[in-house]
Amino acid sequence: MKKATKVLALVLSMAMTMAALTACGNDTAAADSTDVTAVEDTQTDAAADSEAADAQTDAAADSEAADAQTDAAADSEAADTQTDAAADTGAVATVQDGVLTFGTNPEFPPFEFVAANGVIDQYDGIDMAIAKQIAEENGMTAAIESMEFDSLLIALQNGQIDAVIAGMTVTDERKEAVDFSVPYYTATQVMIVKEDSDIAKAADMADKKICVVQGYTGETCVSDMGYDYEAFKKGTEAILELVNGKCDVVVIDSATAQKYVDDNEGLKIVEDPDAFESEEYAIAVQKGNTQLLDMINSAIEAKLADGTISALSAQYLDADSEE
Ligand code: ARG
């Protein structure tokens, strides 16, 4: 069991690394959008199997709680269906009944950061507001599990959390490990430099000291370009290096870069759309968890259509982030 977990962790971290490797590839975005249907189609069978398994698990749990198998049958009747045991809770099966547990890494303003008054406990940001709304609109409460960015997909795979919401870019390789919702935000990698820097395009980084954050798509964008770099655990650590003159450029996602530039004197953003493609953020669920994915997709689609997500983006991009 332990061995299996280790192997899984290794496969996942390889998947994440490979994902990042292709993030700057020119065909990534196109491949992503055309792939979606094919990937979903091939998953239908597995999804059906896993739903059936979930239903059995729920029924078993119910029957334990009621100390009798006959009570599980009564529950089913009450829910008006024998096949959909998840209907017992009126919602999808989750790690904890009535709670939708999201994993995140709260080091990524304006999407997730720690604040005095967060929307979910101490966690604030665009993603946190979206997570809370998705849970509450579906009769659940939202809970956050905070962890390293690199651990998120592994925790999801291990069933520790129900979903990942972390400004996570959809990549083909990550799609091999988990299922992604419809995208809710479009971003791109940018370069943060000192105001007087002569870096004007990605190629100018060639002889510079580059800082990135470990496991982010920005890391392997830079690695893919063949440049040496130093990887930090947090964006704020990379920015501190830049501010202190110990590195020349930080490569990171656009909205987060904007927050760092707003919060630190003497920095500016340099964009290079030819070198850095657009990336799409989405929520990840366990492979085959179509029930939860459908719920999340409906919520996101509604929030994109009625302007909720663009309003949240505007609100959090303008607000001061406390990290
Ligand atoms: N979009 C980038 C990626 O998917 C960075 C995300 C970092 N998110 C976070 N919550 N720390 O790799």
Separation of CA 72 and ligand 1 centre (Å)? 42
Q: What is the pLDDT of residue 9?
A: 53
pLDDT, averaged in runs of 10, over the chain (323 residues): 51 45 43 38 44 47 45 43 44 92 98 97 98 97 97 98 98 96 98 98 97 97 96 98 98 98 97 96 98 98 98 90 47
Instruction: Tell me the pTM.
Output: 0.76
Q: Is 167 in the pocket of ligand 1 (CB under 6 A)?
A: yes
**What's the CA gap between 292 and 11, in Å, rounded?**
24
Q: Ligand 1 test: best mutation among 104, 108, 184, 281, most atoms within 8 Å of CB?
A: 108
Name which CATH class applies to 2-184+282-318: alpha beta
Q: What is the pLDDT of residue 59?
A: 47
Q: What is the pLDDT of residue 61?
A: 45
Q: Is 107 in the pocket of ligand 1 (CB under 6 A)?
A: yes
**Count of residues making up the chain:** 323
**What's the CA gap between 150 and 283, in Å, rounded?**
15
- What's the Cα-to-Cα distance from 53 to each of 46, 123, 229, rounded to whole Å? 10, 33, 45
Separation of CA 93 and ligand 1 centre (Å)? 27
Closest atom of ligand 1 to CA, residue 107: 11
Reported as type and span, the H/E element at residue 250 is strand 249-253
Provide the 8-state DSSP code for 208: S
Q: What is the pLDDT of residue 67?
A: 45
Closest atom of ligand 1 to CA, residue 149: 11
Q: Is 166 in the pocket of ligand 1 (CB under 6 A)?
A: yes
The sign one gets for the Cα dihedral 107, 113, 115, 121 is negative
Show Cβ contacts of residue 18 under 8 Å, excluding neighbours closer than 6 positions.
173
Q: Please, are residues 100 and 143 in contact by the beta-carbon 8 Å criterion?
A: yes
> Parallel, antiparallel, or unpaired for β 99-104 and 163-164?
parallel
Superfamily of domain 187-278 in the CATH hierarchy: Periplasmic binding protein-like II (3.40.190.10)
Q: Ligand 1 test: best mutation among 253, 254, 259, most atoms within 8 Å of CB?
A: 253
- Write down the domain spans for the chain: 2-184+282-318, 187-278
Separation of CA 96 and ligand 1 centre (Å)? 26
Separation of CA 112 and ligand 1 centre (Å)? 10
Q: What is the pLDDT of residue 12?
A: 52
- What's the Cα-to-Cα distance from 277 to each of 89, 144, 157, 185, 189, rounded to whole Å? 42, 30, 28, 14, 7
Q: Is 110 in the pocket of ligand 1 (CB under 6 A)?
A: no
**What's the CA gap between 201 and 273, in Å, rounded?**
9
Q: Is 105 in the pocket of ligand 1 (CB under 6 A)?
A: yes
Separation of CA 211 and ligand 1 centre (Å)? 15
Q: What is the pLDDT of residue 319?
A: 79
**What's the CA gap between 267 and 48, in Å, rounded?**
51
Does the fold of domain 187-278 match that of domain 2-184+282-318?
Answer: yes
Q: What is the pLDDT of residue 78?
A: 42
Q: Is 108 in the pocket of ligand 1 (CB under 6 A)?
A: yes
Q: Is 102 in the pocket of ligand 1 (CB under 6 A)?
A: no
Q: What is the pLDDT of residue 24?
A: 66
| Residue nearest atom 12 in ligand 1 by C-alpha distance | 216
> Parallel, antiparallel, or unpaired for β 107-108 and 112-114?
antiparallel
